[in-house]
Chain A
Amino acid sequence: MDKVQDFAEFAAVQTRPLLGFAHALTADSHDAWDLTQETLARMGERWGRSRFDEPAAYARTVMVRLNIDRIRRLRRELPLLGGPRDQAPVELVGETDAWLVEALVTLSPRQRTALALRYVEDLDVRAIAERMGCSEGTVKSQLSRGTERLREHAREHGPLRTGTAGTSTGD
């Protein structure tokens, strides 16, 4: 199998789960797609030149690092983000919890990252620290503050659920 086809198959399998993870990292459908596309582009660029023992896990590490630095980097690298935003090309096919999306927007990128790794990837503190490239103490702090913020927001606004399967897009 040539490397182009190999990567195409990897991307076909991983795009949906990466997009879901990116949605948890960003709480924004537009940013989630940008992050997914950029992560896959980085993987595709290196595919065949680098050795990936676990490409799916490596892609998530790339995504986490990109997300932490994403605002500054992507605004420079992706012209779309510098001007008026086009409609996100993704489709909303399931329900989202409005209270959670609203709460996540108020968190720092690092707090969102720690929470996504915990609740989406089911990683423990040690593994989260490895993915984020920081200490376990920092992760515990980010998880504690982030979780508390989610609970505060849920108490204030209630766990209201919104969104309907089949609608176009939007968070």
Chain B
Amino acid sequence: MTEEQIKDGYDRLNGALAPPLDAEERVDRRVAARRRHRRTAVAGGCAFGVLAAAGIVGSSLGGDDRSGTGVAADPSGGPVSTLTLIRADGSTHVFDEVRVSCVPLRDGAAPRNRAEELDQSLRIRATSPRVLADGQPVEPIFAFLGVLEKIEGDRTFTFPQGEVRSLAELPVLLWLGDSGDDLRIAPGDATGTVRVVSASCDPVPELHLEVSLSLDGKGERPPVDLVGTLP
């Protein structure tokens, strides 16, 4: 069996099928169905409850940028994300739709809590769509939050890290939640690296990550891996 014979076999396979005559209508119906699904998807964060005590999720990851001095959110486009959740059983989920945006600087008084402490720095975030049904997530969730001034210039962050006394010390935070599962967090549950190849909020939010993490399970929860690149 030569390379040429294999190639010939593939050439025949490649040309063997003709699309249905109503292909255009079928695709249009599928596009419309996906748009309806997206409109009904709830942008929420119930699975982020584990972080609610820290007061971070609501202010940093949930929903759109607040009004005021925010940097415009990036209309997702360009190359697709390859970030992939790999479960212990070998099944995978690709986060191919990740939205990158910048969180506006909070101006005003001195921080009163950890969330406000974090609010003092310009942050860039990347989030996958959060799709809920009956209040429960039906799609795995990925979220990244980085303090821009601490991650610029091709930085690699290695986990686990030493003891963290303040969230303000953390240049990057990463959340990963599987459907119906609670969240895994880096640092904290993670071993591996997150390389921030580039990050910028000007003129538009841009973030390029290379992720190779293993996130520990707790109790009976098995560990999972997160690997791939953004975009």
Contacts and interface: CB of A to CB of B under 8 A. Distances in A.
Chain A contact patch, size range: 35 or more
A41 B34 contact: yes
B13 A20 contact: yes
A96 B14 CA distance: 9
A132 B94 CA distance: 11
A19 B94 CA distance: 22
Q: Is the interface of B mostly helix, strand, loop or mixed?
A: mixed
A96 B16 contact: yes
A124 interface: no
B95 to A, nearest CB: 10
B20 A24 contact: no
Contacts of A123: none
Given A72-B93, A159-B1, A33 B7 contact: no
Interface residues of B, number: 42
Interface in B1-57: 1, 5-7, 9-10, 12-20, 22-24, 26-28, 30-31, 33-35, 38
B84 to A, nearest CB: 7
A155 B1 contact: yes
Contacts of A151: 1
B27 A91 contact: no
Contact of A154 (B1, B34, B84, B92): B1
Contact of B10 (A42, A65, A89, A120): A120
Contact of B80 (A11, A16, A62): A62
A134 to B, nearest CB: 8
A133 B229 contact: yes
Interface of B: 1, 5-7, 9-10, 12-20, 22-24, 26-28, 30-31, 33-35, 38, 75-80, 82, 84, 91-94, 96, 228-229
Interface of A: 8, 11-12, 15-16, 19-21, 23-24, 27, 29, 32-33, 36-38, 40-42, 44-46, 49-52, 58, 61-62, 65-66, 68-69, 72-73, 89-97, 99-101, 115-116, 119-120, 132-134, 147, 150-151, 154-155, 159, 161, 163
19 contacts: A15-B19, A21-B14, A23-B17, A24-B14, A37-B27, A38-B30, A40-B30, A58-B80, A61-B80, A68-B92, A90-B18, A91-B17, A93-B15, A93-B16, A96-B13, A100-B13, A101-B13, A132-B82, A151-B1
